[in-house]
Structure 1
Amino acid sequence: MATITQAVLITGATSGIGLATAKYYLTQGYHVIACGRNQQALDELSGCYGLVFDVTKVDEIKQASVTLQQYLQRHQLPLTQVILNAGSCEYIDDVIQFDADLFARVINTNLISIGYCIEAFLPLMAANSQLGLMSSSATYLPFPRAQAYGASKAGLSYLGRSLRVDLASNSARTSGIGVSVICPGFVKTPLTDKNDFAMPMRITSEQAAIRIFNGMASRKFEIHFPRRFTWLLKLVSLLPEKWLVSMLKNSNK
């Protein structure tokens, strides 16, 4: 059981994986800083400190950073984990009529906003803390209609790999901050409930939360689950590219 003196910040904490993860961290004795856009939803998260901001609005992120720093200092809390979970999913249904606005919107929400969150929150993290980035197992294979979502999550995965190198090489300045890239398979959330295709081996948000907690606690770099599903994707990804195209071209239609 973790002590109450440890704090974790979780974005996108008012629904889905973020909500389940916030609740699970509470059961493990963590001081949970739950972040989201909806003040009422945060108020309903009993036991958490709610930090209201929109990850797509830079000014709100910067103000949240100031508020968080004051809160941590006032309560003498070390910020030992940050999980940047907030994101969105939209599909490009017709690549001939490519929706560039949709593409930009998803990239901004899922990737660009993460850069601003890292700028805001990384300097506040304690020694030997852990940063978690919510990527996706969708990055393992080139799924149809997923150009925006997949590109945003692939960017996050690379960002995590690169951050890990620089944080390790500057350990004197970064005090041993580690990085985890979280790659879920299908998880039952309000977001995936909108999908119009089969989602094999889908697990609950509560099951995902336990896997995230255990992976972050053990400082794993890649946290992927459910493993029987993600290992299958990894294995299939080794096939020649033309085989993958033939296999996947109708998978999400």
Structure 2
Amino acid sequence: MNTMLFFLPMFPQADLVDAFLRANTAGKALVVLLLIGSVVAWSIMVTKFREYRRATRESKRFLAVYQSEPQPLALIVKRQSFFGCPLYMMYRAACRTLHGLIEARGINPAEWFVSQPTESTPKLNDTDMKIVRNIIDQTVDEQVIQLEKNVVVLATAVTAAPFIGLMGTVWGVMDAFGGLAIQGMATISSVAPGISGSLITTLAGLIVALPSLIAYNMLTSRIRILSTMMEHFAEELMADIERHSLRK
């Protein structure tokens, strides 16, 4: 309960606690459920924001190193670390595929990667280039899936949490008016506590949904940015591979 209260400092905590205590059993259960959902949503938000920040930072660092290399394909031989970098994962997958293609021709892959391309450099045919391109595209898809992992939970929280809260409110109001029918009293003082207790579930649902909505929009925007970076790098990488192999 304290986690939810933390995000609403403008409301007196005593009033919220009192409203929670006045809620019926179903309402309290739904508030607890929404509290658990809030904890899960916030943990995903923090984790994904850190992941995207690292991915963006490492991608920019890798791209700067890659573009500064006179022989870009030789970067794989240096074994530099770019942890959490989707661009490097694409580059590594392409180089591993090239390694297999070159080695199958009885040529030392390490020398092929670091050597300056000449007319005698082994050439890649159209089939080889298609294989490399397919591997790059497959790696892009895998990286996008990894970036999108668990983001759907936030979308679910955005849509489901308000309705769960509303269900608790309707349930509580029904109980409150049902109690009035039994007692035969219809005063504001008799119905207000029950309604107050029932509204706490709607408030809890909004507390879960609003931060999740903001985070979801921000995260999907960052996914689009990283996806665009990967698409552009895929084209750049393929162009460098073609130049290096002197493909006719």
Short-chain TM bin: under 0.3
* Higher relative contact order (CA closer than 8 Å, sequence separation 6+): 2
The two structures have a TM-score, normalised by structure 1, of 0.24
Higher helix share: 2
TM-score when normalising by structure 2:
0.25
Which structure dedicates a bigger proportion of its chain to strand? 1
Structure showing greater radius of gyration is 2
